[in-house]
Structure 1
Amino acid sequence: MTRRSTARGWGRVLGTWVVVGLALVCLESRAARRPEEPEAALRRFALVVGSSEGGPGRERLRYAGSDALAISRVLEELGGVAPADRVLLLEADRDALLTALERLKVMAEGAVTPGLRRELVVYYSGHSDADGLLPRGERLSYDDLRRLLGHVPVDVRIAILDSCGSGALTRYKGGLRRPSFLTDVSSQVRGHAYLASSSADEVAQESDTIGASFFTHFLVTGLRGAADTTGDGRVTLHEAYQFAFHETLARTERSQGGPQHAAYDIQLAGSGDLVMTDLRGTPARMLVAEDVQGRLFVRDWGNQLVAELQKPAGRRLSLGLEVGRYHVTLERPSQRFEAEVTVSTRGAAELRVGDFVPVTLTRTAARGGSLHADAPVLPREPLAARADMPTVFLNLSLVPPLSTASLWGGSSLNHMALGGLAVRSLQLRGLGAAGGIGWVDGTMEGGQVAGLANVAGGEVLGAQLALGGNLAFGGATGAQLAAVINYSEQDFTGLQLGGVGNRSDARMSGFQFAGGVNMVERLTGAQLGIFNLAGSVSGAQVGLINVAGNVRGVQLGVINIADDVSVPIGVLSLVRKGRIAFEIGGDEVTPLFVGVKYGSQTVHVTASIGGDSWKESWRTFKMLGVGLHLPFGMADRYYLDVDFTTGGWQPELFGEGVENSLYRLRASIGWELKRRFALFGGVSLNAYHPPEEDPDDDVTWVPQWKTGRGPSGTRMWPGFLLGVRI
């Protein structure tokens, strides 16, 4: 046998063994995969509804819209809902809700693909009662809601209702608890899950402190990762419900509305967990280490509370957040710590206990001897110096470190700090004065006076006075007075008086007065300046231009801009959640007039222009005033408008003005035949002061009576008006 034939023989043998080996590997891999189901594709549809109006006799909700936006964001970021598969409705009525459900039905019918799981999530924040939802006061019964949800061809239906008495939806079938709900690679779950923020006989409560409803606030926190008790990076429906239930109950036990118990009706069959959010696919996360323990409050850089939870020791926590900077507060009994962290897409940012800086708790006294659970008050112990911090009663400084404090141990707790160009203390409990800059790294209790600026890294409990500016990075209780600007990074209680501007990044309780600009995130009190800017206001804004989110009070200015406002008074008031209506009609003075009413849901500005024949020509009446809009009847189909206007006439449209005055008090009742279309009619009381040289008896054909002396005395008469509103 030759070497060549021998080599060929060995080649055949080797090739045979290679083929056999590859076949065995394939068989083994198939056998290993046989018990495992192929990963199921999932498409999740979402309808998110926020409706703040509930009809006559029900208070307008402040946070229904923002709650809906928060849910929408977390479903898109972590819940697997594509923007094209989400329908967001703000201030929707019943018809809009029904149209949206029909749209989702069509979308689901067009998404039939072999192996594709379809899910529907419906979230509603608004008014309801024991019988059904009340979007803008128009009832949608729970029976109809269940029926409509059943028409959407999906495998799983999840309904989350954050509204009063919404637990009535969950009690029809008893709501038996079942372990493990929705979706992993082996899941074959079918059925429905209904969650309600309150039981059938309870009210659902919202909070100004957290800027949201309790239930939605904690549900969103849980979905962002706080509810992940297993630490696998996924939040199931069961975990999210349990977290929201316990946190909502804990925060409402002593509230004015009483304890709030979330309810559920879960009818699901199959294996696996119903995963609501998955954090594993997002790098934008904040990690909290095992050594951190206490109550955590996470706020974005606009001071909006985005997460709140009790962090136990020994558990590593991951929160999926939007990219940006965050301020984190850690609270323990009689202790508070703060830290800052930046969340980016480059990797998770981790917080350890060493990243937190201790701060002094603010003194707070309860009015009337009782506390509201919505605004918990922490006890405050006297400020104590750290063991490693020396106490130097008097700190004399030219510029740091040329100071007596540096000779006796560096930065210290001072009771009096006097500086030439600058003086710096670690903490100050007393008086600080400097010709240039007064600086305190921590908390300042007492007073700071400086020629240029005062700076406090912690809280200010007292007063800061400077020609340049005052800065309190830890919030303040007291007063800031400056010729240029005052700034508080956290809550401020008291008075800010600045020549150019004032700013508070968090809650302001008190007054802001400035010759230029006032800025605050949330205000309880008043702003007085040329330009006022606020997030939410309970009080008043007075200035040339006022801009705010929700205003429970008055905006008085030339231009007012707000999401919602109780009383806007100005030449131009733009209210996003308000009303604007156009009217065409006639009255006893002007056979034809056109007008506009714009403002809040209750208070509006009204302007109109009308024409009348006069001395073989014609003249125009221009009127401007304010009024009240009071809806009543089923679904606000009827309304009463009471308006007071003033104005006068001039020859033709752009003719030269003539000295005359017309005052009108009108009351009209409207009947809304369709949305944005109404008929109205009413009566009026008119007072007219004609031109000096002309009694103008024919200003109206209605009989008049005269008051005052002279041929041009004031004339009065009753009148009427009829018209159409669109």
Structure 2
Amino acid sequence: MKSFETDVNILILDSCASGAFMRVKGGQQVALFLLDEPSRIRGDVYLSSSTEEEASHESDEIGASFFTYSLVSLLRGAADFSQDGQVTIHEAYQYARTETLSRTESTLAGPQRPSWHIELTGTGDLVLTDLMELEAGIVFTEELEGQMFIKRGQHNIVAEINKAKGTSITIVLPVDSYTITIRNDDGTLEASITLDESSITTLTIGDFLRTKNIVTRTRGDEEMNDEELKDKIDKPVSSYDVSFIHFGFSFVPGLGVPFPNQPYYVGLDFNLVLGINYGIRGAQSGTGINIVQDTVYGAQFAVIGNIVEGGLKWFQWAGVFNIFSGSVRGLQSAGVFNIVSEDISWLQASGVFIIASGSVKGAQGAGVFNITSGTLTGVQGAGVFNITSDTFTGVQAAGVFNSAINVTGIQAGTLNIADKIEGSQIGIINIADSISGLQIGLLNIGERIDGIPIGLINISRNGLMTLSFEGDFNGFFYLSFQSGKTLYTLLSAGTQFFTVQTDPVLSTIAGLGLHFDLGPFFIEGDAAAKKLQSAGKNEKNFHSLK
């Protein structure tokens, strides 16, 4: 291995007594592994499936060796213990050893202990998988727990994860259709999804349906009676134990079906005054207020408002307001306001204002203002103002002002404010720290401009901004101001001091010019319009090039 001209070599062996080959040289060059660039790591890593005195086990059930099976899962993201979106070599070894040992410690052949040897110099860590560069993936939220099986189709298991409650986990997968099965003390859950290119699907408890357990007994055990079988199948009610009913109706909480404390998903539900349901899978309509404790999958309508503690997937309308503790994936509309605590995907519209604490992918439209605490990708439009506290990608338009941290796209409003612009700012006043693109307005202010400012006054630290005094052969003396960069604005005003005319003449000039730096020298050329006006109200207009 040391003969390869590479910074880092990684040798992975899955064979019996593979620990004895820790220092074997050789191998085949493959695609470059991801490195943490600032770390400058150099050296070799040897990872074996067992020690030099142990056998490496295979399983007919999973159709692979235990070590390779865990290795595939960890590279897909199961070993991201630090939740930083990367799987490092240390996390990979920790996961592979724990999973392989736990699966083999009770086998007839004895336990199998993966081992490793590292010969690395430098600082930092070696990154094997960057989950941020995923083709597609699944995010399992914090409330999910148990042994998870991800299958392509119905039988081909592509990853298996033992997930603890309280932490989320991201698994990278190719574009395809998958069935996810979760087994824990409360039973078996199942969900089916299809991943599109560059898509991330977040799964919550509400995305899973409970399936019946297959009751078995080991050889030699006594047969179970009917009561024991019933206990095996009918688990106590828990956060996972959610059933489904087709219809629901209530006048007020407690007078209707289902009762508020029963964890049912309802297919079609109607509430007269106030309705409280665990979840909706279909449609819900109410003349007053609808309250849902989990997620709405489908459509929800209310004359006054909707309050959902989980998320929305499809469509929601309310005459006054919508309030969400979870995320929205679909269309949300309200006569007065929408408030969402997590992410929004698709379209959100309100007559007065919208407040989103998470990120937005899609469009936001409000009669008065939009406030988004996370990133926004898409379109944000408001009658008065838009505020995005993080990165904005797309079009941000408002009648008065727009504010964002980093903008990739267009800001259009009377006043536009951003830290960094890659695109265009269009308004009366544009303010940004760094601009790559266009600023179009009466007043453009930028700390650093790598683009073209077009305005009456352009102010920047690295741009062109000069104040000069000059005269011509006609006896006019001018005070001139140039501002911009390669393209600049020229504004001049002057008068004739030495003339036989009794009435003073005022000359004003406005134009555009080009400026090119040539080392210590520069070349300039401009086109301008001149206006002469005397105290006797006589006016003359001229056009000039210089």
Give the TM-score of the pair, scaled to structure 2: 0.54
Say if 1:441 and 1:715 are closer, same or farther in 2 by CA, change over 3 A.
same
Q: Structure 1 residues 419 and 556, CA, compared in 2 at 3 Å: closer, same or farther?
A: same
Q: How do 1:63-82 residues align onto structure 2 when only pairs under 5 Å count?
A: none
Deviation at 1:610, TM superposition (A): 2.8
Query: Among 645, 664, 667, which residue is 2:511 paired with?
Result: 664
Is 1:533 equivalent to 2:388 in the alignment? yes
**Is 1:420 the equivalent of 2:273?**
yes
Match of 1:712 in 2: 539
Secondary structure of the residue aligned to 1:429 is: strand
CA–CA distance in 2 between the matches of 1:337 and 1:713? 84
1:561 alignment partner, one of 392, 411, 418: 418
Q: Is 1:642 the counterpart of 2:494 in the alignment? A: no
Of residues 654, 672, 688 in structure 1, which corresponds to 2:530? 688
Are the equivalent residues in 1 in contact too, given 2:407–2:418 (CA < 8 A)? no
> Which letter maps to 1:685?
A
On the 8 A contact 1:337/1:356 being kept in 2, the answer is no
**1:574 aligned to 422, 432, 454, which one?**
432
In the other structure, the counterpart of 1:601 is 450
Aligned residue in 2 for 1:474: 327
Report the Cα distance in structure 1 between the residues aligned to 2:466 and 2:312, rounded to whole angstroms: 56
C-alpha displacement of 1:483:
0.7
Pick the aligned partner of 2:312 from 456, 459, 462.
Answer: 459
Q: SS of 1:399's equivalent?
A: coil
1:611–1:531 distance in 2 versus 1, CA, 3 Å: same
Tell me, yes or no, if the aligned pair for 1:555 and 1:565 is still in contact at 8 Å. no
Letter matched to residue 712 of structure 1:
E
Distance 2:275 2:536 in 1: 74
Judging changes above 3 Å, is the alpha-carbon distance between structure 1 residues 426 and 469 closer, same or farther for their aligned structure 2 residues? closer
Q: 1:222 aligns with which of 74, 83, 88?
A: 88
1:433 has 2:280 as partner:
no
Distance in 2, Cα, partners of 1:244 & 1:461: 38
Aligned residues: 387
- How big is each residue's C-alpha offset from its partner over 1:376-417, in whole Å with a ceiling of 9 and x where there is no partner? 67999x978646645444433233233232299664413132
Asked if the contact 1:392–1:408 (Cα under 8 Å) also holds between the matched residues in 2, the reply is no
| Aligned mate of 2:252, from 386, 395, 399 | 399
Q: 1:611 to 1:577 in 2, by over 3 A?
A: closer
Contact 2:420 2:433 in 1 (8 A): yes
Amino acid of the residue matched to residue 222 of structure 1? T
The 1:556/1:716 distance shift into structure 2, 3 A limit, reads same
In structure 1, the partner of 2:467 is 610
SS of the residue aligned with 1:406? coil
Describe the superposition over 1:512-567 as per-residue Cα deviations: whole angstroms up to 9, x where unpaired. Answer: 43512321523222222313214222212224443434322112342412244322
User: C-alpha separation between the residues in 2 aligned to 1:402 and 1:604?
Assistant: 65
Per-residue CA deviations over 1:585-632 (Å, capped at 9, x if unaligned) read xxxxxxxxxx986455324462456354689997645566xx6x6xxx
Counterpart amino acid of 2:300? G
8 Å Cα contact 2:353-2:366 kept in structure 1: no
- Structure 1 residues 438-457: Cα deviation after superposition (integer angstroms, max 9, x where no partner): 42522330232241333251
CA distance in 2, matches of 1:713, 1:680: 32
Tell me the residue number matched to 1:159. 40
Alpha-carbon distance between aligned partners in 1 of 2:250 and 2:506, rounded to the nearest angstrom: 70
Q: 1:417 to 1:578 in 2, by over 3 A?
A: same
**Partner amino acid for 1:541?**
Q
CA contact (8 A) 2:188 2:210 kept: no
* Matched-pair contact (CA < 8 Å) for 1:597–1:604: no
Whether 1:375 and 2:204 are equivalent positions in the alignment is no
Paired position in structure 1 for 2:352: 499
2:345–2:360 CA contact under 8 A, matched in 1: yes
Q: 1:684 to 1:294 in 2, by over 3 A?
A: farther
Contact kept in structure 2, 1:290 and 1:313, CA below 8 Å: no
Q: 3-state SS of the aligned residue for 1:535?
A: coil
Quick one: which amino acid aligns to residue 527 of structure 2? L
Partners of 2:359 and 2:513 lie apart in 1 by 43
Q: 2 CA distance for matches of 1:491 and 1:411?
A: 25
Query: What amino acid maps onto 2:91 in structure 1?
Result: G
Q: What RMSD over aligned residues (CA atoms) do the two structures have, in Å?
A: 5.6
Of the candidates 404, 411, 428, which is equivalent to residue 548 of structure 1? Answer: 404
TM-score when scaled to structure 1? 0.42
Alignment gaps of 5+ in structure 1: 1-121, 126-157, 161-169, 181-209, 211-216, 255-286, 296-309, 319-324, 339-351, 580-594, 630-640, 652-657, 696-710, 720-726
Q: Does the Cα contact within 8 Å between 1:443 and 1:456 map onto a contact in 2?
A: no
Seen in structure 2, the aligned counterparts of structure 1 residues 419 and 679 have a Cα distance that, compared at 3 Å, is: farther
Provide closer, same or farther for how the CA distance between residues 408 and 486 of structure 1 changes in structure 2, counting only shifts above 3 A: closer
Letter in 2 for 1:669: F
Which residue in 1 is equivalent to 2:371?
518
- Contact 2:392/2:405 (8 A) holds in 1: yes
Give the structure with the larger helix fraction: 1
3-state SS in 2 of match to 1:431: strand
Percent identical residues: 11
* CA distance in 1 between partners of 2:317 and 2:289 (Å): 14
Structure 1 residues 219 and 476, CA gap change in structure 2 (3 angstroms)? closer
- CA, structure 1 residues 562+461, in 2 after alignment: closer, same or farther (shift >3 Å)? same
Conservation of the 8 A alpha-carbon contact between 2:148 and 2:161: yes
Residues 422/574 of structure 1: CA separation in 2 closer, same or farther (3 Å cut): same
1:536–1:408 distance in 2 versus 1, CA, 3 Å: closer
The gaps in structure 2 that reach 5 residues or longer are 1-34, 48-76, 78-82, 99-113, 151-157, 212-240, 438-443, 460-464, 496-504
**What one-letter code is carried by the residue in structure 1 that aligns with 2:450?**
Q
Matches within 5 A, 1:139-538: 159=40, 177=44, 179=46, 220-222=86-88, 225=91, 228=94, 229-230=96-97, 244-245=127-128, 251=134, 291-293=146-148, 312-313=160-161, 327-328=168-169, 334=178, 371=197, 374-375=198-199, 386=210, 389-406=242-259, 411-439=264-292, 441-455=294-308, 457-471=310-324, 473-487=326-340, 489-503=342-356, 505-519=358-372, 521-529=374-382, 530-538=385-393
- Judged with a 3 Å threshold, the aligned counterparts in structure 2 of structure 1 residues 599 and 446 are, in CA distance, closer, same or farther, namely farther
CA deviation string 1:656-691 (max 9, x = no partner): xx99864322222124x5xxxx65332111123444
Superposed CA offset, 1:462-518 (max 9, x none): 133241333261332123334133325124112333513331513422334351232
Larger CA deviation: 328-337 vs 439-448: 328-337
Cα separation, 2, equivalents of 1:553 and 1:159: 35
Amino acid paired to 1:555? Q
SS across alignment from 2:527: strand
- Between the aligned partners of 2:294 and 2:248, the Cα distance in structure 1 is 14
Contact in 2 for aligned 1:473/1:488 (Cα 8 Å): yes
- When you count strand as a share of all residues, which structure comes out higher? 2
Letter in 2 for 1:533: T
Per mean C-alpha deviation after superposition, the further-off stretch among 422-431 and 399-408 is 399-408
Cα separation, partners in 2 of 1:469 and 1:718, compared to 1, 3 Å: same
After TM superposition, the structure 1 stretch with the greater mean CA deviation from structure 2, 353-362 or 417-426, is 353-362
Does structure 1 retain, via aligned residues, the 8 Å contact 2:410–2:423?
A: yes
